[in-house]
A and B are shown apart, each in its own frame.
Chain A
């Protein structure tokens, strides 16, 4: 027991941002547990024999590993996955456990936690690192690993399936769902507050922990829809003409539903840094959305823009449009061109990777920016201080991809 607690202190010392979560775990000693396991109520089951044979440094790593299962909500996600794919049974449980371990193990070791010899890594199956549990499950059958790893069991905390030794929801010292959320939230806030200390994987987790990332198609759709539907454009109620209902209610003035088809202008960043596949999918999406909000196809135009803007091409030709360009970007010329085009656009949708200067003043129409995220921003060798501007606040920004 003492060794186990000293190992927890070791883990707290090298991963201070996980301290709250590590201390929130309630330790239960149980000889029937194969190694060390957690349940969905933040209890940690430990086999005394396992603790005795593990070196203390590696035991600290096990602590961090087990608490990661809980912080990353592997029990909830595992149970959801099982329900969605109707995959139950011991083999499937093991598969989920292995995939969850893949998600954890690729970035928790090092920096004070030695990587144990037999650790389960995605490279065992030739899979890339940094994926989520669900992605690993979808990509590989893992049946090749199963016989070797049948001993592996991180408890219901890892896959959402209860075990005979677990105390269950009514047992003592469990954390309720809201308490778990509160602990996870505090750990996430701690990581966000001092991002320098935590590795990339944990920072990403902290960003997404309480805001599940939404598919960009829906976000872009909602943004374009609400931009096109804002007063002055799109479908809305209007008193400009009386409603047809007025005839049946004499003396009452009713508004009618007027449709002013919004004209949408898509400015596409065709500089070398945006790939054709990215552009193609985003452009098709915008076209589909503008059709859905009632735009006629001739009211959707496309401008390809690198350092200089091209001509606005109506969308009816744009589906086979050849996007010309390459090299640097200056979206300002694209905006200027879009505003000069007739009919004047109600909405400008800019698809870009953001490595561009932006207009200094908001354009006189709604603006939606579809942003292709670029990780570690490319450093300009001639001007190391150059930082591309972030999209301006007057635009609604949707991150694509």
Chain B
């Protein structure tokens, strides 16, 4: 039997162990087996604890967002255990189907020849697990060992994963799909995932955390909390993620569709309109659930691939920068980012908007923003923006008083320049003697 449908066992969450079985007092082998059962029951009595776990959080969020997830991980790393946990916490029955031992017709439907095929057609009968899943109306469909399925099975799975159809049956909306695969390094006889199938999944890389394993073997596993979506944030989250993805793709149109070209990237996530749509959904869910940037990064990179995902996240960072016009409007209250590189980016944006509409008041406000930055952070960040702002000066504009306070910045730049020149001169001398 390679498919199973099981209700999750109730998991005690308050730390109290399950009631222990009563040990038999009879004689003979029955007792011995009963004792063995007792020991097993004791061993299997584990509790869970809420614990921040980024990969579990990412998995839960993607499942909640109804996007197919693909877990990559070495064999025996606890992917199935995590899925069981997830099913329990979402209160969904878990159906495991091991893809590699199935035939394509188990997913596309088994053709059944009837009385008169020319008139009635040949119906494609769905397998039992699909019928049961439809009858239940909800559940977690776990397609295990995806990477060892033959290409024909993978092709048949395309429809299951994307259109949620098994033969003539339509899987109800309450069914979530999660798949698991072994990475190529450890799949000795595996096929690789075809790009169309890979594009339909959110790829999450499952790694074990030493602490989690040790604590789990000690009897306490981490618990997956279903994401808490804040109802008030929903419209805002959709608007935000649309703005982010659309703004980003307007700036980087080449990233809209890019088939994996190098051998190392095959079988993984890659950007396409479909996977950008998934990224948008994930961004909206992540925002509404207020998850950390780390979790968001796992999800976005899993949907569109590392490169485009990181670029989108960098774009989000820039969206977080304060609006340069707001900074100019009230320099004294300006709140600049703490991180040096972001702070410099914000100051450069201020100089850029002043340059776009150079007026004397705006120019002076620009200096005030720089003074504010000097008061709240290190001086070396100001050299580049200050030089750029100084070059915007018109002849009839007087130097504002605040510039005196930036004299230290100029001194710093001069010191650095002199140091660079010293090195260049020394290098020139040694080159000269060599010649």
Contact = CB atoms under 8 A, between A and B. Distances in A.
A182 B317 contact: yes
B368 to A, nearest CB: 22
B311 A185 contact: yes
Given A5-B379, A229-B151, A243-B103, A24 B339 contact: yes
Most chain-B Cβ atoms within 10 A of its Cβ — which of A9, A179, A254?
A9
A9 B383 contact: yes
A254 B113 CA distance: 11
B340 A112 contact: no
A222 B190 CA distance: 8
Nearest to B297: A178
Interface string A182-222: 11011001000000000000000000001111110011001
Contacts of B310: 181-182, 185, 210
Contact of A10 (B103, B266, B420): B420
A86 to B, nearest CB: 13
B185 interface: yes
Given A23-B381, A26-B339, A257-B150, 4 more contacts: A60-B419, A222-B184, A222-B192, A225-B192
A89 B307 CA distance: 37
A120 B60 CA distance: 48
B151 A230 contact: yes
B412 interface: yes
B266 A222 contact: yes
Interface string B145-156: 000001111000
24 contacts: A3-B415, A7-B419, A10-B419, A24-B341, A26-B339, A57-B419, A112-B423, A114-B426, A211-B262, A215-B185, A219-B264, A222-B263, A223-B263, A226-B151, A229-B151, A235-B150, A236-B151, A251-B112, A252-B112, A253-B110, A254-B105, A255-B105, A255-B152, A257-B150
Contacts of B293: 176, 178-179
B416 A182 contact: no
A397 B263 contact: yes
A27 interface: yes
Nearest to A292: B189
A48 to B, nearest CB: 15
Interface string A2-19: 110111111011100001
B435 to A, nearest CB: 17
Nearest to A184: B310
Interface string B132-159: 0000000000000000001111000000
Interface residues of B, number: 63
Nearest to A210: B306
Given A6-B415, A230-B151, A254-B103, A13 B264 contact: no
A56 interface: yes
Contacts of A235: 150
A177 interface: yes
Contacts of A27: 378
A152 interface: no
B24 to A, nearest CB: 41
Given A229-B191, A252-B112, A6 B263 contact: no
Nearest to B186: A218
Contacts of B191: 225-226, 229
- The 5 A-B residue pairs with the shortest CB-CB distance, nearest first, are A9-B416, A23-B340, A5-B380, A178-B297, A6-B415
Contacts of A3: 415
B314 interface: yes
Contacts of A175: 339
A25 B343 CA distance: 12
Nearest to B266: A222
Interface string A328-349: 0000000000000000000000
Nearest to A27: B378
B294 A112 contact: no
A9 B341 contact: no
B192 to A, nearest CB: 5
A55 to B, nearest CB: 9
Given A178-B293, A181-B297, A237-B150, A9 B314 contact: no
Nearest to A186: B314
B32 interface: no
B125 interface: yes
A5 B110 contact: no
B184 A218 contact: yes
Interface in B334-360: 338-344
A231 interface: yes
A309 interface: no
B419 A236 contact: no
B119 interface: no
Contact of B111 (A14, A231, A253): A253
B22 interface: no
Interface string A57-90: 1001000000000000000000000010000000
Contacts of B311: 185, 189
B151 A231 contact: yes
A173 B338 contact: yes
A112 B111 contact: no
Contacts of B151: 226, 229-231, 236
A7 B344 contact: no
Interface string B392-408: 00000000000000001
A113 interface: yes
B413 interface: yes
Contacts of B184: 214, 218-219, 222
A235 B419 CA distance: 68
A203 to B, nearest CB: 16
Given A177-B294, A178-B294, A114 B423 contact: yes
Contacts of A214: 184-185, 263-264
A240 to B, nearest CB: 13
B422 interface: yes
Nearest to B306: A210
B266 to A, nearest CB: 7
B313 interface: yes
A185 B262 CA distance: 19
A358 to B, nearest CB: 17
